[in-house]
Amino acid sequence: MATYGLQVNGQNVSVTIDDADTPLLYVLEQNFHINGARFGCGLGQCGACTVLLDGRPIRSCITPVSEAEGHSVTSLEGLRAHDKLPDPSDLHPIQEAFAKLQALQCGYCVAGPIMQGYAFVRDNANPTRAEIEQALKGVMCRCCAHTRMIDAIQTYAQEKTR
Amino acid sequence: MKPKNPLKLDGAQPLSEKALEALNHLDPSRRDFLKTAGIMMIGIGVGAATAGTAEAQSPLNPSGNIDNTQLDSWVAIGADESITVFAGKCELGTGMKTMQIQIAAEELSVPVERITMVLCRTGVTPNQGLTVGSLSAPTQFGNNGLRVAVDTARDALYQLASLWLGVSVDQLVLNDGVFSASGDPAATVSYGELVQGRRFNLPVNRSAVPNNPSTWKVLGKSVPRVDVPPKVKGTYQYVQKVRVPGMLYGKVVRPPGLGAKVQSIDKGVVNGLPGNPQVVQVNDFVGVVADTEWHAMKAAAALVNGITWSSGDTFPNQADLYTFMQQQPSRNALSVNTGDVDQVMATAAKVMTAQYRYPYQMHGSLAASAAVVDVRGATGDKATVKAWSCTQGVYNMRTTLANLLRIPAANIEVVFVEGSGCYGHNGGDPVTQDAALLSQAVGKPVRVLYSRADEMIAGEHYGLPMVCNEKVGLDASGTIIAWDYENIEAQRGGGAVGTPGNNIPGYLAGFPTTQIVPSATPPNNPTNFNNGNNTVPPYVSGSVNGVSFYTGTIASHRVLNRVVAGPLWTAWLRSPSRLQNTFAHEGIMDEIAASLNADPVEYRLRYLSDPRLINVVKAVAQKANWETRPSPKRASPFSRSGTGRGFSCYLHQTNNGYCAMAAEVLVDESTGEITVTKVITAIDAGPVISPDGLNNQVEGQVIQGISRTLYEEVLFDRASSRITTKDWRSYVTLQFGGVIPEIVSILVDSRNAPVAGSGEITITLVPSAIGNAIYDATGVRMRQVPFTPEAFLAAKKEQKG
């Protein structure tokens, strides 16, 4: 048994677990009832489980919980608080852009495009559509809302620089 | 002032605890309302309401059914002005919940925020069958659906208000659920005051007249979907996130080869592993349950080494699949047969034949499927079940579980909880059976979440493969005089019809699978016209007993459907059979036009008789700046080499929406790489319910259709009886970073036509539009999906040397 301390959506928490290899996703899901990181493939191929680890998007389904020790983990629920915006239960501006453009169908995948898009826009001001499309490589959407997702990320990027 | 109630509004009746629990997702005010108002939706209440009917007295299922003929089964109005609507078409990610809210809000003249929509729970919502087949919108707008129920409530409210305010119905003004008398705006009465939380106690009036579409304020508008904000916020609870107190985590261990049987099992291999793993075996169904997801995964991995399996089923070689299908005995049915096809074909100056082939494909849902099932009391009359499932049919699933677990259906409650987009019968139903078997064995609630390989190899049922044999006769002038079509589709098992053995887990547990019985005698001629699978091409008249039912003019036609037993498990996948048949019909039509040096659009229009189909064809041609000329395109210094455009059109099913499409492609003839650059498409599915929602459907279907056309195919290995496409690397799909085409969608808003479906109509045309565009660009005809670079190069070599 080992105890790991981490920050989940701004809260300091600890988890005691018998296997350091346990993927972070299962700890988030079972111990902290996080709904925003979702199991899609368990192989790091689809992006549905994406969370931010110290602000960097990672695949929580293939990241051992031990690697999160001492780090901050942000899921979709905590994105607004991560940017220290007021009213943390409201939507983050990138989530607002997705909602405004109805940039999803079933929505199961959106942690991938939102988290990946968020980090990309943070690090790259005024991205082109083609750049956004490339940045989303490695995340999947099987309802195929690709066009709207790219539009939503671009809308967010434009509003951010305004 | 209030007159005697003319509508038999009944007094309150408390809800059962079970009913309250079933409604536990509602916010507290709604819950309290339902508790105090005593809406009788549930169980015993309904039993009382329908006492005397055969169903209510059936020993098999004395309760747990909802009487669809009663208004109170659909609409409840609380004294607090709340409006709760119960309906039976589930949210699969297409916006169906919001559409149903729009119907209720429109017909009751209230804002959408006033409606609480409860969907798909046995014993709570009306049994509206499955949410499939582009039938949800037509159903809810039809005379057995939600709209007539809401209109019945509206009419009753008008009558009550008329009596309350002492003016005639036509003197009433209705605004946001409040009536006033015209000329006396101070005299008002609200829905809540009129009903006072009681029951309507009225039958649904199937002939209730809907609000005139020309007055629509909510329908016809791009109402933002109610499920989107919690989905992007991350708080939305998909079925993969359902948590029940005391819940354990289950994993399945499937046979390595399809059809392999357990020869021996050493359950002890999990001993000593963490999480108190318990092995469950029911014949060839094997699974393990533990205290966490990770422990269950570890135990399942260990258990794999503790089982000896027999060898599996005998597969054909992948390359021989289509030959294999044609060699199997078939169950035959005729869709149309004018009786003169052989005779007319014999007079043809030219006969065009072609075979089109379509592979097994996956639903490939983004989520691995999951379900939570809580079986208490093992089995028999005393046992109870609660299941949280993303099934497309909660009542069908209840029947399936009753048979699987040998527990009366009345003791089983199935609650729909959304999974990821399913596009048909993915792993959602099978995993519900898995969770049920495991929970029954361990006596605790169990969540089963498939691994990616579980989902892809032995969870989901694939879309069916098809061999399509086209034979079309032309006279000397190039006019089609006879159309003869035969398709062969391979099936195994099927969708949710209450038969456990038709799904993989029930089959493994020992339940029989419905067999395909080959026809012993020639099929009878059809007595009515049904084109539910689009076996009948759009260019024939669709004649039954001399009456034409379809969209074309070709008089002589025969369509034979042959179903054979196939090696892999199948069920419906978005536009089942319709997409495959249309790929063939629209391909051969293009081949015929090309053989005559005719423009593909002009040539199609020669045979079309339905003005709405003609309208979408012309709309797309115009929007696409369609250049009138034959295919393939001649080399020209003014156009980019390797570019081409293809056309496709049809009426979905017998009468469920019109669609036309032009696709533009870029083909690299040296590598075989195909890029779809632009798609222009028009849809006429009756009135547009939500323009943005419909556009979202169109866009998603275009891109998903491109993925299925260019990349997707289930692969299998004969030697090991194994499926080899088991993750997103081996099962190739369209990815971000590839080229997303420009999509131009034309929405024809036929306000006065019946509402048609739109969940499958667009994707159906994608393979043929792309195939025809490839031909236009290169002169190479693609007759087998997927159009991979290797497939293109092989076809090019075969056709052009």
Domain boundaries, chain A: 2-80, 81-161
CA distance B75 to B151: 10
The answer to whether residue A98 neighbours chain B at the CB level (below 8 Å) is yes
B727 touches chain A (CB under 8 A): yes
The H or E element spanning position B389 is: strand B384-389
Residue B136 touches partner A, C-beta closer than 8 Å: no
User: Which residues, at least 6 apart from B751, have a Cβ–Cβ distance to it below 8 Å?
Assistant: B213, B214, B220, B687
Give me the residue from A19, A91, A139 closest to B229, CB to CB.
A91
Alpha carbon distance B10, B71 (integer Å) = 13
Query: Residue B367: its chain A contacts at CB < 8 A?
Result: 38-40, 48, 108
Q: List, for chain A, all residue ranges whose pLDDT scores fall below the cut of 70.
A: none
CB < 8 Å to B459, chain A: none
Q: Under an 8 A CB cutoff, do B740 and A75 touch? A: no
Nearest to B520 by CA among B326, B330, B300: B330
For B168-193, letters b (16+ CB in 10 Å) and e give eeebbebeebbbbbeeeeeebbbbbb
CA–CA separation, B254 vs B246, rounded Å? 26
In whole angstroms, what is the distance from residue B559 CA to residue B545 CA?
Answer: 15
What is the rounded CA–CA span in Å between residue A146 and residue A152? 10
Beta bridge partners of B251: B288
**Cβ of A144 and B702 within 8 Å?**
yes
Contact A144 B701 (CB under 8 A): yes
Q: Which residue of B has its CA nearest to A18?
A: B274
* Phi, psi of A128, rounded to the nearest 5 degrees: -80, 165
Coil vs helix vs strand at B316: coil
Amino acid at B404: L
Using the structure block, give the residue that is written with the tokens 């991205």: A127
Contact of B52 with chain A, judged by CB distance below 8 Å, is answered with no
- Among residues B128, B122, B65, B68, the alpha carbon closest in space to that of B96 is found at B128
Cβ contacts of A84 within 8 Å, gap of 6 or more? none
Give the ipTM.
0.99
For residue A133, list chain B residues with Cβ-Cβ distance below 8 A: 736-737, 740
Report the C-alpha gap between B340 and B335 in whole angstroms. Answer: 15
Q: Measured in whole angstroms, how far is the alpha carbon of residue B422 from the centre of its chain? A: 8
* Residue B267 to residue B264: CA distance in whole angstroms: 10
Q: Do B696 and A139 touch (CB under 8 A)?
A: no
Burial B648-664 (b: 16+ CB within 10 A, else e): bbbbbbbbbbbbbbbbb
Cβ-Cβ contacts under 8 Å between A and B: the total is 175
Whether residues B231 and A110 touch (CB distance < 8 A) is answered with yes
- Tell me which amino acid residue B84 is: T
Query: What is the least distance, in Å, from the CA of A85 to any CA of chain B?
Result: 14
Nearest to A99 among B232, B274, B704 (CB): B232
Coil, helix or strand at residue B76: strand
Interface touch B234/A34, C-beta < 8 Å = yes
Q: Does A102 touch chain B (CB under 8 A)?
A: yes
Q: Using the beta-carbon criterion (under 8 Å), do A46 and B419 form an inter-chain contact?
A: no
Kindly state whether B419 is in contact with chain A, defined as any CB-CB distance less than 8 angstroms. yes
Q: Please name the residues in contact with B546: beta carbons below 8 A apart, sequence gap of 6 or more.
A: none
Q: Which of A74, A97, A141, A25 is nearest to B292 (CA)?
A: A25
For B294, the closest chain A residue by CA position comes to A22
Contacting residues of A for B735, CB less than 8 Å apart: 137, 140
Nearest to A146 among B365, B421, B736 (CB): B736
Q: Which of residues 222-241 of B touch A (CB under 8 A)?
A: 224-225, 227-229, 231-238, 240-241
Q: State whether residue A78 is helix, strand or coil.
A: helix
Burial of B369 (0-12, 13-18, 19+ CB in 10 A): buried
Contact assignment for A109 to B366 by CB distance below 8 Å? yes
**Three-state DSSP state, B777:** helix
* Closest CA–CA distance from residue B430 to any residue of chain A (Å): 17
DSSP at B520: S
Coil, strand, or helix at residue B282?
strand
**End-to-end alpha-carbon separation of chain B, Å?**
91
Contact B438, B287 (CB under 8 A): yes
Residues 105-144 of A with CB under 8 A from B: 105-111, 113-114, 133-134, 136-144
Which chain A positions have a beta carbon within 8 Å of B227's beta carbon? 107
Name the region of B449 (left: φ>0; alpha: ψ -120 to 50; beta: rest).
beta
- Count of Cβ atoms closer than 10 Å to residue A137 Cβ: 12
Q: Return the percent helix, strand and coil in chain A, to nearest 5.
A: 40, 15, 45
Cβ distance A95 to B233 less than 8 Å, yes or no, reads: yes
Count H helices and E strands in chain B, helices first.
22, 28
- Nearest-CB residue to B240 (from A38, A102, A145): A38
B678 in reach of chain A (CB within 8 A):
no
Q: What is the dihedral of CA A36, A42, A46, A50, to 10 degrees?
A: 30
Instruction: For residue B737, give the chain A residue with the closest CA.
Output: A134
Smallest Cβ distance to B224: which of A102, A114, A136? A102
pLDDT number for residue B268: 96
Check residue B721 and give left, alpha or beta (phi > 0: left; psi -120 to 50: alpha).
left
Distance in Å, alpha carbon of B642 to nearest chain A alpha carbon: 23
Res B691: pLDDT: 98
For A146, residues 6+ apart whose C-beta sits below 8 A from its C-beta are A133, B703, B736, B740
Which residue segments constitute the domains of chain B, with CATH numbers given? 17-232 (3.30.365.10), 240-311+363-458 (3.30.365.10), 323-360+464-800 (3.30.365.10)
End-to-end CA distance of chain A: 50
- Using an 8 Å CB-CB cutoff, list chain B residues near A147: 699, 703, 740, 743
Cβ-contact A49, A59 below 8 angstroms: yes
What does the pLDDT read at residue B7? 52
Report the C-alpha gap between B279 and B250 in whole angstroms. 10
Nearest CA to B662 among B606, B623, B705?
Answer: B623
Structure tokens at A20: 């350091």
3-state secondary structure at position B461: coil
Q: Are B92 and B34 in contact (CB under 8 A)?
A: no
0.80 cut: is pTM over it?
Answer: yes
Say if CB B267 and CB B221 are below 8 A apart: no
Q: How many CB atoms lie within 10 A of CB B524?
A: 10
Residue of B nearest to A107 (CA): B231
Pick the residue of B223, B228, B766 with the most A CBs within 10 A to test the interface with A by mutation. Answer: B228
Nearest CA in chain A to B234: A36
Closest CA to B191 of B92, B75, B302: B75
> Does residue B94 sit at the A interface (CB-CB below 8 Å)?
yes
Strand-pairing partners, residue B205, are: none
**Peptide bond connecting B632 to the previous residue in cis, omega within 30 degrees of 0:** yes
Q: Which chain B positions have a beta carbon within 8 Å of A109's beta carbon?
A: 366, 420
Taking domain A81-161, whether its CATH number is 1.10.150.120 is answered by yes
Beta-carbon contacts of B774 under 8 Å, excluding residues fewer than 6 positions away, are B644, B646, B665, B667, B674, B780, B781, B782, B787, B792
Query: Is residue A19 less than 8 Å (CB to CB) from chain B?
Result: yes
Q: Which of A139, A143, A148 is closest, CB to CB, to B421?
A: A143
pLDDT at B63: 62
Interchain CB distance below 8 Å, B736 and A142 = no
- Angle A111-123/A146-161 helices, nearest 10 degrees? 30
Pick B728's closest partner by Cβ from A45, A136, A147. A45
Which H or E run contains B721?
none
**Consecutive 10-residue averages of pLDDT for chain B (801 residues):** 48 44 43 42 30 31 78 94 96 97 98 96 94 95 97 97 95 95 92 92 96 96 98 98 97 96 97 97 98 98 97 94 98 98 98 98 98 97 97 97 96 96 97 98 98 97 98 98 98 88 98 97 96 98 96 98 98 98 98 98 98 98 98 80 95 97 97 98 98 98 98 96 97 92 97 96 98 98 98 97 85
Q: Provide the edge-to-edge strand list for the sheet that holds B556-565.
A: B331-337, B556-565, B480-491, B466-474, B350-358
Q: Distance, in angstroms, between B451 CA and closest chain A CA?
A: 7
Q: Which residues of B touch A141 (CB under 8 A)?
A: 366, 736
Q: Does A32 touch chain B (CB under 8 A)?
A: no
Contact between residue B683 and residue B620 where contact means Cβ atoms under 8 Å apart: no
What residues of chain A lie within 8 A of the CB of B727, using their CB?
41, 43, 45
Cβ–Cβ gap B229/A99 under 8 Å: yes
CATH number of A2-80: 3.10.20.30
Task: Let me know: does A132 contact A117? Beta carbons within 8 Å.
Answer: yes
Cβ within 8 Å of residue B112, ≥6 positions away: B98, B101, B102, B105, B218, B223, B226
